[in-house]
Amino acid sequence: MARFIFITGGVVSSLGKGLMAAALGALLQARGYRVRIRKFDPYLNVDPGTMSPYQHGEVYVTDDGAETDLDLGHYERFTGVASRRSDNVTAGRIYQSIIARERRGDYLGATVQVIPHVTDAIKAFATADTDDVDFVLCEIGGTVGDIESLPFIEAVRQLRNDLGRGMSVSIHVTLVPYIAAAGELKTKPTQHSVRELASLGVQPDVLVCRCEHPLPESERRKIALFCNVPKEAVIPALDAPSIYAVPLQYHAEGLDAQVIHAFGLPPGREPDLARWVDIVDRLKSPEGSVTVGVVGKYVGLPDAYKSLNEALIHGGIANRVRVDIRWIDAELFEGDASEIVPRLEPLHAILVPGAFGERGAEGKIAAIRFARERRVPYLGICFGMQMACVETARNLAGIPAASSTEFGPTSEPVVGMIHEWMSAEGLQQREEGGDLGGTMRLGAYPAVLAGNSHAAAIYGTTEISERHRHRYEVNTAYRERLEAAGLAFTGMSPDGRLPEIVERPDHPWFIGVQFHPELKSKPFAPHPLFASFIAAAIRQSRLV
């Protein structure tokens, strides 16, 4: 039977609960345990799929087509365990399921209440599909004291009683702020946060204390005394030089050992952390550097491209170079061509990521043209592939009106909305004006690559599976004219209807993909497209 680790946060948000959960999962794996990590979000959206990237950061997509919190990306990148739809649930999804059951009459006339109906639903999500693991780590979003998180904390309280002694551990992540004027770290916020959590019936077993300065032994003893935990269970968490150094840092502070101890399990063997040591070594001692420009729409918030940022770093790890990422607002290139050369010429590679809507599209097309004409390595992801096709159509194929129906009616729909496609569940159909949430081509889909293509050489196979998140596709009615203009369609859906990869054989490195390869990249297993893309950037750096 799986043991459960419940992770809460206090004092302020953005303390890194998700990163801590991912690092702890990696440490438990290194000790030989099987883990699964879950995220419970208190907001009322059914999922983050319709939320602005500026509100919530990126939407992370799983193989089974769930639009989830970006923390699931951390979980996958650190553990290598593919997340599932059942690994992220929101208050909105909980209430939606309960209301649907009430409307069907499933409650047999009972009054539907937060306790027991909402808390029972949360517990059911927590315990589902856990027979194949040793530990389930459940991160509770938000901050203790938030009104919306109360049902989740109550569910944790009940579930700890249901599971019984020795089957669950509570970890509370808090802030120990440094007051510069006083020259002191202050433990009172942590004491108040733990008191708030304990008043809700959950006594933490381990405290993870984020701090900017080393936590003195005297302060650890004070926290332990007032928060009713052993001193050894007060784990300092200072900022790390890289997120991939966090597992090593937490292990050095004894986090995994304290969790094992809190469960009453024998210490067992020391974890094998060799791959994390190697990753950190590659990051600390690069053999060079390259500069990659990301010409995007949401560059004001790095979390909007979190997986992309990490995948580029992974490409650098694979090639033992530092990747300097320059985030460039695509709108800079619209109506002012004078910005293009000074901003793009210093780059060793250019990437145009996924996006929605017309804003910034013309700027991205201008960046793509620059990469094509100047022979700079180019990777287009989702929208970036679509705009590469529009750029070729306009400037090489004699179709100056080429556009996407996403931007409105057009006489030359090189990119158009997909209304039906085949998935693992059968034929999927969509109509204009329908719901936006959960209606895209989502999740893992197979693709077949041309055997003589650059993409097949990079992957080392002609059959791949990658994750999608989009509702527009390149129109195959234009394939012949685009290929005549030098843009080869080298990856297609198995039925030959949907383009998955395009590339330019006349270019050193020019690839567009309809899917999101960044979602499957990991520091210990960099995605082959990103490893090859950074290798191309290295070659370009020697030419500049």
Cite the active site residues.
Answer: 382, 516, 518
Which two structure tokens, joined as six digits, stand for 8?
């809460």
Using CA atoms of 312, 317, 321, 323 in order, give the dihedral in degrees to the nearest 10. 20
The answer to whether the bond into 116 is cis (omega within 30° of 0) is yes
φ, ψ of residue 110 to 5 degrees: the values are -70, 155
Q: Please identify which residue in the block is written with the tokens 């002012």.
A: 336
135-140 and 3-9 beta bridge pairing: parallel
**How far is 89 from 352, CA to CA, in rounded Å?**
31
Residues in the chain: 544
Q: Please identify which residue in the block is written with the tokens 């992957």.
A: 459
178-179 and 184-185 beta bridge pairing: antiparallel
Strand residues in 150-197 grouped as ranges (E) = 168-175, 178-179, 184-185
- Find all residues with CB under 8 Å of 502, minimum gap 6, and list them: 385, 388, 389, 474, 482, 487, 488, 489, 490, 491, 511, 512
Structural contact between residues 206 and 258, judged by C-beta atoms closer than 8 angstroms? yes
- Find all residues with CB under 8 Å of 524, minimum gap 6, and list them: 80, 275, 279
Longest dimension (CA), the chain: 75
**How far is 513 from 487, CA to CA, in rounded Å?**
12
Residue 362: how many CB atoms within 10 A of its CB?
17
- Is 474 strand, coil or helix? strand
Residue 27: how many CB atoms within 10 A of its CB?
26
DSSP 522: B
